[in-house]
């Protein structure tokens, strides 16, 4: 059978996989295949052995192997193609981001915990953005800033625009972990602000939005001029303001 990808089919699969452990064998199969992917032995486009071969390699039943493959498929690690078997997928952070976001929502993260975490991550990110941003990053930030200004007076539109601005900041920081965290926290953050806004009058909401727009503009200006300390200071002010808002909404 012809191989797909970098792992040659004629190589000994027995050197890569071992018999699965007795307890939760399907999870052990998943663990071994993940490990092969992390180590770089298996790459996107590589075809796994046939189901019959996997049963022999792992020393488990057809049902157990199929369960493991279903788990991997749900995670986006493999794609099961009729007539071709299981093929390693191109990795995407989106599945992980959705899972982490769901976990945060299930745990019902306390607002003050979100506020504390943002003080560490976003102050660092905005400082990095001032040091590392590209011209494209700066353009995206300015476009996001304009989008927030245009959303003044709205509710849902403002929440979305504000979240987009903070994601653009993370992208400008040139740190992939910061981007993942920003995307994971996006809906959690939107929900926290939404609840905070519920306690405000229309006039207060407008005042809050305008103050946030001022903070955004200050950060963009500081990033444009490479002033990391000023950018970090403005973000610190912005988060103090965010802390007051969530206290108002959740107390």
What's the total number of domains in the chain?
A: 2
Q: What is the pLDDT of residues 150-173, one digit of tens each?
A: 999 888 899 999 999 999 999 999
| Single residue among 88, 121, 155 that ends a domain in this structure | 88
Confidence of residue 251 (pLDDT cuts 50, 70, 90): very low
Radius of gyration from C-alpha coordinates of the chain: 24
Write b or e for each residue in 57-76: b if 16 or more Cβ atoms lie within 10 A of its Cβ, otherwise e.
Answer: bbebeeebbebbbebbeeeb
- Minimal CA–CA distance to 38: which of 88, 94, 95? 88
- Residue 176 CB partners (closer than 8 Å, separation 6+): none
Judge contact between 59 and 30, C-beta under 8 A: no
Residues 80 and 101 in one domain: no
Q: Which residues contact 44 (CB under 8 A, 6 or more apart)?
A: 5, 88, 89, 90, 91
- Return the closest-CA partner of residue 51 out of 37, 72, 76, 36: 72
pLDDT category at 75 given cuts 50, 70, 90 is confident
Distance (Å, whole) CA 194 – CA 217:
22
For the stretch 115-149, pLDDT in tens is 889 999 999 999 999 999 999 999 999 999 999 99
Residues 132 and 79 reside in one and the same domain = no
Residue 82: strand, helix, or coil: coil
Give the model confidence (pLDDT) of 183-195 as tens digits.
Answer: 888 888 888 788 7
Q: How far apart are CA 101 and CA 97, in angstroms?
A: 6
pLDDT at 94: 63
The Cα–Cα gap between 140 and 217 comes to 13
* 3 occurs within a structural domain: no
Residue at 181 is within a domain: yes
- Measuring CA to CA, which residue among 126, 141, 143, 139 is closest to residue 227? 126
**Residue 122 domain boundaries:** 94-250
Q: Is-above-0.85 flag for pTM?
A: no
Whether 240 is in a domain gets the answer yes
- Among residues 88, 115, 143, which one ends one of the domains? 88
Q: 26: Cβ–Cβ under 8 A, 6 or more apart, which residues? A: 20, 60, 64, 65, 67, 68, 71
List, for residues 207-246, the tens digit of each pLDDT value: 989 999 999 999 999 999 999 999 999 999 999 888 887 7
- How does pLDDT run across 21-72, given as a tens digit for each residue? 656 889 999 999 998 988 888 888 899 999 999 999 999 999 999 999 999 9
């Amino acid at each position: 059978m012809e191989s797909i990808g970098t792992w040659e089919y004629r190589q000994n699969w027995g050197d890569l996989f071992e018999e699965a452990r007795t307890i939760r064998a399907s999870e052990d199969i998943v663990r071994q295949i993940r490990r092969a992917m992390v180590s770089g032995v298996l790459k996107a486009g590589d075809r796994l052995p046939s189901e019959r071969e996997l049963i022999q390699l792992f020393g488990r039943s057809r049902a157990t192997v199929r369960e493991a493959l279903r788990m991997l498929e749900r995670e986006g690690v493999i794609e099961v193609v009729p007539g071709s078997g299981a093929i390693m997928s191109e990795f995407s952070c989106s599945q992980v981001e959705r899972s982490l976001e769901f976990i945060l929502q299930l745990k019902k993260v306390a607002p003050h915990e979100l506020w504390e975490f943002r003080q560490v991550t976003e102050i660092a990110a905005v400082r990095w953005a001032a040091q590392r941003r590209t011209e494209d990053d700066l353009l995206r930030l300015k476009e996001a800033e304009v989008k927030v200004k245009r959303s003044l007076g709205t509710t849902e539109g403002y929440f979305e625009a504000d979240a987009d601005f903070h994601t653009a900041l993370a992208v400008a920081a040139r740190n992939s972990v910061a981007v993942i965290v920003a995307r994971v926290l996006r809906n959690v953050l939107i929900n926290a602000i939404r609840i905070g806004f519920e306690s405000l009058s229309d006039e207060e909401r407008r005042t809050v939005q305008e103050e946030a727009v001022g903070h955004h503009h200050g950060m963009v200006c500081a990033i444009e001029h490479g002033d990391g300390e000023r950018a970090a200071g403005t973000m610190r002010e912005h988060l103090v303001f965010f802390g007051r808002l969530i206290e108002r909404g959740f107390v």
